Chains A and B, each alone.
Chain A
Amino acid sequence: MIEPGLFRSAGFRFGLVYAVLMTISAAALAMFLWWFTAGLLDRQTASAIRADAQGLIERFDEEGDEGGIKALVSTIEDRLAADVDDEAIYLLVDANMHRVAGNLDTWPSIVDTPGEWRQLQVRRGGMRSSALVFRYELPGGYHLLVGRDVQVRVQLGNLLTDALIWAVAIVLAMATAGAIIVRSLFRRTVANVSATASAIAAGDFAQRVKVSGRGDEFDQLAEVINDMLDRITRLMDGVRQVSNAIAHDLRTPITRARARLEEAARGAESSADLHAAIDRATIDLDGIVAVFQALLRIAEIEAGSRRASFQRVDIVTVLEGVADLYGAVAEEKGVALQVSHPRRLEINGDAALIQQAVANLVDNAVKFSPENGTVKLAAVLDGRRIRIIVTDRGPGIPEQDRLRATERFYRGDAARGTPGSGLGLALVQAVAYLHGGVLRLEDARPGLNAVLDLAWSENPDG
C-alpha cells in the first residue's frame, strides 16, 4: 500500500534512510567477511601453487635439458608421495600432450593458454573434484600443469556465500521492520506535538505537549514548546487583563470627565464655572493618559524587546538616586529612609526600568508608612541573585491579597483613598520578569517586605 505523497512524509524518509543505512552496513560487513575468509583461502592456494611450480621449474633448470625432465619427473613423484592430504595436482606432458608424470590422466582441454588461472573439474581416483591449476611452458615442448584440489574450499566458499546471502536477506527484513517502527515512533511523537498545536490553534490554550519523562530530545522539544506556550498564555492573559482593566478602570474617569464637560456645556452659570469644569476635566484626562502610558509601558516591558538594549547597571547609583528623590518626601512625612548596599553592585539590565521599579516600591513604602516610621531600602548580593528589598512598617498586604497585588489595577483595601493607579506593582513585576527575576511580597510583621529578586550576572568584560 503506497500512500499518496509517501515520499513527502518525514517519517517515511527517516524509516527509509534507516533501512538503507542498515542494509549498506550489513552488505559491507558481508563483503569484508568474504574477503577475509573465502578470498583469503583462494589467495593462499594460488600462492602455494606458484611456490610449488617455482620449485619444480628451478629443479628443471638446474639439470639442463635432458636431465631436467628426469629430475622434474622424480621431484613430482617425490612430492606426490609426500602429499599426505592428497591435494596437490601435477601433470607433465610432452609436445604431443602425452603424459610423462603426474596424477592426472589426461591434459584438461580447457587449459589451453599458459599464464592463466583455471578452475576446473577433475576426476581423480574415481572422484569428481574441483581444482585450481596453472599452466607452465618448459623448453623442449613440455607442458607442466601445477594445481591444488580445492573441493573442500569450494564447499566452504559456497556455504559462506549462502550464509551471507541469508544474512543480507534477514538484515533487509529487519531493516524494513525497523524502518516501520522508526516511522511510527516518529509519527507518534510528532502527532503529540501536532495534536497540541492544533488544539491551541483551535483555541484551547490549556493543552500542553506530553512529556514522556525520558528526558530525551523529544522531551526537550516538548519542554521548550510548553515553555513557549506558557509565555504565550501569560501574554494573552495580560492582554485580556488589560482589556478588562480598560473596560472597568478607564471607563470610570472617562465617564467622569465626559459628565463634567457635558454638565458645564449645559448648565454653567458663569465663565468661571465653565473654566473650573474644563480644568477638572483636563486633569481627569491627564490621569487617563497617565494610566494609559503606564499600561503601554508595562506591555512594552512584557514584550521583552527592551532586553536587546541591556547594559551594565550600577545598582548603587540607582538606589542612591531613588533615595535622594524620595528622601525629601519621606522627611516631609517624618519617615526615616534608610539605605544600605554593598560598595559596588552591577547587573546587566535596563537602568531606567530598574530605577522606575525601585522608585515605585519606595513610593509605595513611603506612602503607606506610618508617620515617624522607617522605610528601609537595601540591596544585597546573595549567590547569583541580587535582592533589592524595600521594607516599611505600614499596614502591609493581607496574605490572601498578596498574589493579586501585582495584577494591573488591583488596589488593596488599604490603598483605597490614596492616590495611585494600581499599576505600580504590576510594572515592578514586569521589570523583574524582564531581568530574569521575580517580585516577592512578604510579611514584615508589621508592614511589607517587597523583594525585587533579580538574576545577577558577572560583567562579561571582567
Chain B
Amino acid sequence: MRILVVEDDRDVAGFVVRGLKETGHVVEHADNGRDGLFMAASENFDAIILDRMLPGGIDGLKILETLRAQKNAVPVMILSALADVDERVKGLKAGGDDYLTKPFAFAELLARVEALGRRGKAETTQTKLVVEDLELDLLSRQVRRAGQKIDLQPREFRLLEYLMRHAGQVVTRTMLLEGVWDYHFDPQTNVIDVHVSRLRQKVDKPFPIPLIHTVRYAGYMLRAEGAV
C-alpha cells in the first residue's frame, strides 16, 4: 500500500514510517499541515495517517475537510492525543474513517490502516465470503466448511464475517469490539479471546487445518495455511 503519514512529532513519525516500511508499504511523510495537504491533494494514496494538531497553520481536521470538499475519498485514519468522545465524534464527522488515540501500539495502527486500505476496494456487494474451504453465505446466513454445515449463533456469525472480510489481515481485539459489538471501550477482561476461542471450537477444531490464528501482541488473523 502507498501510505501518507502526516505527523509533526519526529519520534512518532519515525516509528510509524519505519514500521510501515518494514511491513512492505510505500510511505511518504509530511511534518506540517501545509505539505501534508499539498501531498494528499496532489498524489494518490491508498490511505492517509493524519495527526490532528499540526504546525503550519493547517491542522488535521482542516486537511480532512479540504480533501472531502474536493470529493477525495482516500481512507483517512486520524491519529490524535485528543481522546474525548466528543473529539472522536468531531474527527469522524469531518470525514475520518477511523480514529486512533495516542499512545498506541504499532500492531493496532498497522491492522487498522491495512483494514482501511482494503476497505476502499473489497467492500462491494458480495453475497458470499470464501477462504480456503470455508464459505460464509451472507444471504442465507449459512456457514459451511468442506461442504459441512456449521451452526453458529448470530454473534458468532458476525464475528466470523468480520474475520473473513479481513482475511489475511491482522484484526485487533479493539477492532473486533468496535466492529462486531459496537463497544468503544476496553473491557479489561479477555472477553474477545473467549468468543474467538468458542468460534474456533466450531470452525477449526473439527478440521485438520486451522484458519483462525493468534497474532502475538496484536490480535487474530484468519488466513489460509501457507498464505501470509
A joins B in a complex? yes
B57 at the interface (CB under 8 A from A): no
Task: Enumerate chain A residues within 8 angstroms of B183, measured Cβ to Cβ.
Answer: 321, 325, 352, 355-356, 359
- If A328-B195, A328-B198, A355-B183 touch, whether A367 touches B83 (CB-CB below 8 Å) is no
- Complex Cα distance, B181 from A359, in Å, reads 12
State whether A367 touches B85 (Cβ < 8 A).
Answer: no
State whether A352 touches B185 (Cβ < 8 A).
Answer: yes
State whether A359 touches B187 (Cβ < 8 A).
Answer: yes
- Complex Cα distance, B84 from A289, in Å, reads 14
- If A321-B181, A356-B185 touch, whether A328 touches B86 (CB-CB below 8 Å) is no
- If A324-B155, A420-B188, A421-B188 touch, whether A289 touches B85 (CB-CB below 8 Å) is no
Contact of B187 among A332, A352, A363 (CB under 8 A): A363
Contact of B189 among A306, A356, A363 (CB under 8 A): A363
B226 at the interface (CB under 8 A from A): no
State whether B181 touches A290 (Cβ < 8 A).
Answer: no
State whether B83 touches A293 (Cβ < 8 A).
Answer: yes
Task: Enumerate chain B residues within 8 angstroms of A289, measured Cβ to Cβ.
Answer: 103
The closest CB in chain B to the CB of A289 belongs to: B103
Task: Enumerate chain B residues within 8 angstroms of A420, measured Cβ to Cβ.
Answer: 188
From 298 to 357 in chain A, residues with beta carbon under 8 angstroms from any chain B beta carbon are 300, 305-306, 309, 321, 324-326, 328-329, 332, 352, 355-356
> How many residues of B sit at the interface, in one of the four size bands?
20 to 34
Contact of A286 among B86, B105, B191 (CB under 8 A): B105
B194 at the interface (CB under 8 A from A): yes
Task: Enumerate chain A residues within 8 angstroms of B119, measured Cβ to Cβ.
Answer: none
- Complex Cα distance, B194 from A359, in Å, reads 16
B141 at the interface (CB under 8 A from A): no
From 165 to 195 in chain B, residues with beta carbon under 8 angstroms from any chain A beta carbon are 181-191, 194-195
A296 at the interface (CB under 8 A from B): yes
From 133 to 186 in chain A, residues with beta carbon under 8 angstroms from any chain B beta carbon are none
Contact of A363 among B105, B188, B217 (CB under 8 A): B188
- Complex Cα distance, B65 from A226, in Å, reads 45
Task: Enumerate chain B residues within 8 angstroms of A326, measured Cβ to Cβ.
Answer: 189, 191
State whether A305 touches B86 (Cβ < 8 A).
Answer: yes
State whether B155 touches A329 (Cβ < 8 A).
Answer: no
State how many angstroms separate the Cβ of B179 from the closest Cβ of chain A.
13
- If A305-B86, A324-B155 touch, whether A352 touches B188 (CB-CB below 8 Å) is no
Task: Enumerate chain A residues within 8 angstroms of B190, measured Cβ to Cβ.
Answer: 329
From 79 to 126 in chain B, residues with beta carbon under 8 angstroms from any chain A beta carbon are 83-86, 101, 103, 105
- Complex Cα distance, B187 from A421, in Å, reads 11
Task: Enumerate chain B residues within 8 angstroms of A297, measured Cβ to Cβ.
Answer: 185
Task: Enumerate chain B residues within 8 angstroms of A356, measured Cβ to Cβ.
Answer: 183, 185
State how many angstroms separate the Cβ of B215 from the closest Cβ of chain A.
14
State whether B188 touches A419 (Cβ < 8 A).
Answer: yes
State whether B181 touches A325 (Cβ < 8 A).
Answer: yes
- Complex Cα distance, B184 from A306, in Å, reads 15
State whether B185 touches A329 (Cβ < 8 A).
Answer: no
State whether A290 touches B85 (Cβ < 8 A).
Answer: no
Shortest 10 CB-CB contacts between residues of A and residues of B: A328-B194, A329-B194, A356-B185, A328-B195, A332-B194, A329-B191, A363-B189, A324-B155, A325-B191, A289-B103
Contact sample, A vs B, 12 pairs, CB 8 Å cutoff: A279-B217, A289-B103, A293-B186, A300-B85, A309-B86, A321-B181, A321-B182, A328-B191, A329-B194, A356-B183, A359-B183, A424-B188
